[in-house]
């Protein structure tokens, strides 16, 4: 899949081939490189003057230690110098383990504790920036470079390849003794492990590492004891300052594209998306407790399941904060119905109820009585948490086999080409801004929900015989279905403008967040043979693959949230995502390409549940699941009072296309 194609079951699937990672990793790496660049600038300072000052500062520091009777370094260094094996091991410990522990902690926080990552990262940066400033303003020569004081350079004595002080890293700052960043980094790791309540054995291992580092930096004559002691207030100051710079109790701030869907939500247009999952429970019954236990076991890997929104202030977007007590009785419920019609009524009722924002924004409802040996699970997440593809990925992560990664390599970035295409697309979007004809709508929170199962081979065969794509078949089926339900409605018109979401994920984007663009298409809903409708739909759908409009829409989606204050961004979102510009949403989503199980029960069908845009009366989705294309249709009762009429009309269109020559 490229960036210019709609995500459809035959075009792309969610598979187990890729790793889930959080976005913005490139920015974090660039930030780290910038700090290293500052460190490199210190080394470029005039070295003769720095060496004279560093030698004087080193002697003064050692004289102070001797006056305080703290000069234990020479004793430790003398013993280690006579132990060839331990000397080499100590040199490598000095060069490697403090870096490895800090990098490992940052990666772990980045992936597992994003709510803590930014504050911890800021403290780490502050430690290094203060250290670099000290190295520039107050250089100190380490003991190993002053043999006149009786110290031995264990690195050069043992010819330890690759360690600090060896020829391989001779470019490193030789006068960066105070404060000891080795001690500062290891102490910072200990503080952050304690703050996230890491396992006791992990904290114990790090405590041993702190003591070992303290011994090694002195025994190898790389630091004085006072260097290590200076690291303590440095870490304390950095952690305190980072915490003070972050609002009390704050976590990760909601991204602009995600906040978009908070702004557009109204009581009449709740913005939660999800799926209706039908399970074979004949041999593997599923209980509510099974589902609750399953989610609870995966909380560590899915922070949004345990986080709620908190007010970020009038001029800033909300924050994600951990919920101290998850109300499992509300989040995971059980209901009983009588048949598939009752199940669809349950979904419609849930769609009409906004998710309360004083708790994590997800729900899971076990519905029994669907059919003999068949139960269902309604899984919903607010659009602020994830887009349609992200919701699919979250649901799959609860299934077996586990872990099942959200796959795909994402889109390849070509900055120059993308910039030109975006500029072109912005002009095209401006030209497309005419207001569409309105579809009938009641404008209430009531919903109607319908389902339809089409064999995937049939959809592919229709697309192949008519020289189209499965995406085009889905769009044509919805257009023809609208024609059938509206043909007796006066003034229905010959076209209906719908938004088609397109995946814009890049490598490194995870399951969370909204990474989709949307392109408007005018579906032909007038009277015509369905083969002609498909041909016309395919012609109009070429804009999905042009690349310009999707990139332009994605640019606007991202940049609006970055440059606009929160109140202005909210007004923009409500204006852009409304019946002024669209009358429906039609989405093709990737699904699993293998047999999965949820709480031990085989998965049979999954129907997408897509929220209506404010004022727009239709949202239809098609999800490829193994060998089936599962349609889920959500409608305003003003458009169609019985969603089964709409799905039956869609089925008629597919049948006519199959029978067409």
- Output the DSSP codes for 181-212: HHHHHHHHHHHHHHHTT--HHHHHHHHHHHHH
User: In this predicted structure, what is the pLDDT of residue 157?
Assistant: 65
Tens of pLDDT, residue by residue over 33-63, are 787 777 777 767 777 777 888 888 888 888 8
The answer to whether residue 557 scores a pLDDT higher than 70 is yes
Q: What tokens does 155 get?
A: 């690195």
The answer to whether residue 4 scores a pLDDT higher than 60 is no
- What average pLDDT does this structure show over 421-437? 71
Region of 459 (left: φ > 0; alpha: ψ -120 to 50; beta: rest) is: alpha
- Which residues have CB under 8 Å from 198's CB, separation 6+? none
Tens of pLDDT, residue by residue over 320-343, are 888 888 899 999 999 999 999 999
User: In this predicted structure, what is the pLDDT of residue 382?
Assistant: 95
User: In this predicted structure, what is the pLDDT of residue 205?
Assistant: 92
Contact 618, 498 (CB under 8 A): yes
The answer to whether residue 437 scores a pLDDT higher than 60 is yes
User: In this predicted structure, what is the pLDDT of residue 240?
Assistant: 87
Instruction: Specify the range with the lowest mean pLDDT, choosing from 166-170, 270-274, 530-534, 637-641.
Output: 166-170
- What average pLDDT does this structure show over 613-641? 93
The answer to whether residue 538 scores a pLDDT higher than 90 is yes
The answer to whether residue 627 scores a pLDDT higher than 90 is no
Average pLDDT, the chain: 84
- What average pLDDT does this structure show over 266-276? 94
User: In this predicted structure, what is the pLDDT of residue 448?
Assistant: 96
The answer to whether residue 360 scores a pLDDT higher than 80 is yes
Q: Look-up: residue for tokens 């509300």?
A: 330
- With residues binned 3-state (H G I as helix, E B as strand, rest as coil), the percentages for the chain, rounded to 5, are 50, 15, 35
Q: Look-up: residue for tokens 């989503």?
A: 589
The answer to whether residue 491 scores a pLDDT higher than 70 is no
Contact 482, 619 (CB under 8 A): no
User: In this predicted structure, what is the pLDDT of residue 194?
Assistant: 87
187, 191, 196, 199: CA torsion to nearest 10: 60
Q: Which residue has the higher pLDDT, 244 or 537?
A: 537
The answer to whether residue 654 scores a pLDDT higher than 90 is yes
User: In this predicted structure, what is the pLDDT of residue 65?
Assistant: 86
Question: Which of 211-225, 401-415, 443-457, 570-584: highest mean pLDDT?
Answer: 443-457
User: In this predicted structure, what is the pLDDT of residue 590?
Assistant: 77
- What average pLDDT does this structure show over 191-216? 89
Contact 614, 266 (CB under 8 A): yes
Domains of the chain, first to last: 45-246 (no CATH), 253-659 (3.30.559.30)
What are the angstrom distances between the C-alpha of 516 and each of 276, 388, 600, 625?
22, 9, 32, 21
The answer to whether residue 176 scores a pLDDT higher than 60 is yes
The answer to whether residue 276 scores a pLDDT higher than 90 is yes
User: In this predicted structure, what is the pLDDT of residue 92?
Assistant: 84
Q: What is the DSSP string of 24-73?
A: -HHHHHHHHHHHHHHHHHHHTS-HHHHHHHHHHHHHHHHHHHHHHT---H
User: In this predicted structure, what is the pLDDT of residue 553?
Assistant: 80
User: In this predicted structure, what is the pLDDT of residue 15?
Assistant: 37
User: In this predicted structure, what is the pLDDT of residue 286?
Assistant: 94
User: In this predicted structure, what is the pLDDT of residue 547?
Assistant: 76
The answer to whether residue 589 scores a pLDDT higher than 50 is yes
User: In this predicted structure, what is the pLDDT of residue 551?
Assistant: 80
The answer to whether residue 168 scores a pLDDT higher than 50 is no
The answer to whether residue 10 scores a pLDDT higher than 60 is no
The answer to whether residue 21 scores a pLDDT higher than 70 is no
Contacts 24+ apart (CB under 8 A), 639-645: 639/439, 639/440, 639/441, 639/485, 640/448, 640/485, 641/448, 642/448, 642/450, 643/344, 643/348, 643/448, 643/449, 643/450, 644/344, 644/450, 645/450, 645/485
Q: Which residue has the higher pLDDT, 242 or 361?
A: 361
Instruction: Specify the range with the lowest mean pLDDT, choosing from 71-75, 373-377, 612-616.
Output: 71-75
Nearest to 548 by CA among 423, 409, 385: 423
User: In this predicted structure, what is the pLDDT of residue 84?
Assistant: 83
- What average pLDDT does this structure show over 196-222? 89
- Specify the pairing of strand 597-598 against strand 516-524: unpaired
User: In this predicted structure, what is the pLDDT of residue 532?
Assistant: 95
- Which residues have CB under 8 Å from 195's CB, separation 6+? 116, 120
Q: Given pLDDT bands bounded at 50, 70 and 90, which one contains residue 506?
A: low
- What average pLDDT does this structure show over 438-463? 94
Q: Given pLDDT bands bounded at 50, 70 and 90, which one contains residue 409?
A: very low
The answer to whether residue 186 scores a pLDDT higher than 80 is yes
Tens of pLDDT, residue by residue over 125-134, are 999 889 888 8
Instruction: Specify the range with the lowest mean pLDDT, choosing from 178-192, 477-491, 617-631.
Output: 477-491
């Amino acid at each position: 899949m490229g960036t210019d194609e709609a995500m459809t079951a035959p075009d792309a699937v969610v598979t187990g081939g890729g790793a889930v990672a959080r976005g913005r990793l490139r920015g974090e790496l660039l930030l780290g490189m910038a700090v290293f660049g500052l460190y490199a600038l210190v080394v470029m300072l005039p070295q003769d003057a720095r060496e004279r000052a560093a030698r004087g500062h080193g002697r003064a520091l050692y004289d102070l230690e001797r006056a305080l009777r703290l000069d234990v370094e020479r004793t430790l260094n003398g013993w280690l110098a006579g132990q060839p094996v331990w000397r080499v091991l100590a040199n490598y410990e000095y060069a490697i383990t403090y870096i490895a522990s800090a990098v490992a902690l940052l990666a772990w926080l980045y992936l597992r504790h994003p709510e803590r990552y930014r504050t911890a990262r800021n403290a780490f940066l502050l430690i290094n920036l203060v250290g670099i400033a000290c190295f520039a303003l107050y250089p100190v020569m380490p003991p190993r470079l002053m043999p006149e004081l009786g110290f031995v350079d264990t690195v050069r004595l043992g010819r330890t390849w690759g360690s600090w002080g060896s020829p391989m890293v001779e470019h490193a700052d030789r006068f960066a003794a105070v404060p000891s960043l080795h001690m500062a980094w290891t102490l910072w790791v200990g503080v952050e492990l304690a703050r996230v309540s890491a396992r006791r054995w992990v904290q114990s291992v790090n405590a041993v590492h702190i003591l070992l580092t303290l011994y090694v930096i002195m025994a190898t004559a790389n630091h004085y004891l006072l260097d290590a002691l200076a690291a303590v207030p440095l870490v304390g100051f950095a952690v305190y300052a980072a915490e003070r710079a972050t609002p009390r109790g704050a976590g990760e701030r909601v991204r602009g594209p995600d906040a978009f869907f908070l702004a557009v939500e109204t009581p009449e247009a709740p913005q939660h998306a999800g799926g209706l999952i039908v399970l074979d429970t004949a041999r593997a019954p599923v209980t509510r407790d099974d589902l609750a236990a399953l989610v609870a076991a995966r909380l560590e890997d899915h922070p949004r399941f345990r986080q709620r929104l908190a007010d970020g202030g009038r001029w800033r977007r909300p924050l994600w904060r951990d919920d101290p007590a998850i109300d499992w009785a509300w989040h995971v419920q059980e209901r009983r119905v009588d048949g598939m019609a009752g199940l669809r009524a349950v979904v419609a009722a849930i769609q009409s109820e906004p998710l309360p924002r004083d708790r994590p924004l997800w729900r899971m409802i076990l519905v029994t009585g669907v059919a003999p040996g068949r139960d269902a699970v309604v899984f919903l997440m607010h659009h602020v948490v994830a887009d349609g593809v992200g919701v699919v990925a979250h649901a799959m992560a609860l299934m077996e086999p586990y872990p099942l990664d959200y796959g795909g390599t994402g889109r390849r970035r070509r900055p120059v080409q993308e910039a030109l295409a975006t500029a072109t697309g912005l002009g095209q979007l401006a030209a497309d801004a005419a207001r569409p004809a309105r579809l009938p709508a009641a404008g209430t929170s009531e919903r109607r929900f319908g389902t339809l199962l089409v064999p995937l081979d049939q959809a592919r065969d229709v697309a192949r015989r008519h020289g189209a794509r499965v995406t085009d078949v889905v769009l044509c089926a919805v257009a023809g279905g609208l024609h059938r339900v509206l043909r007796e409605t006066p003034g229905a018109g010959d076209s209906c403008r719908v938004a088609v979401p397109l995946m814009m994920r890049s490598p490194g984007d995870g399951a969370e967040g909204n990474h989709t663009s949307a392109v408007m298409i005018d579906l032909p809903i007038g009277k015509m043979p369905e083969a002609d409708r498909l041909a016309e739909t395919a012609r109009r759908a070429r804009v999905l693959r042009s690349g310009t409009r999707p990139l332009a829409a994605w640019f606007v989606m991202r940049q609006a949230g970055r440059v606009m204050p929160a109140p202005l961004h909210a007004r923009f979102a409500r204006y852009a995502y409304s019946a002024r510009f669209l009358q429906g949403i039609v989405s093709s989503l990737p699904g699993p390409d293998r047999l999965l199980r949820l709480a031990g029960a085989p998965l049979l069908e999954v129907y997408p549940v897509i929220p209506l845009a404010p004022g727009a009366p239709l949202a239809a989705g098609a999800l490829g699941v193994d060998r089936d294309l599962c349609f889920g249709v959500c409608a305003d009762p003003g458009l169609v009072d019985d969603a089964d009429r709409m799905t039956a009309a869609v089925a008629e269109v597919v049948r006519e296309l199959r029978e067409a020559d």
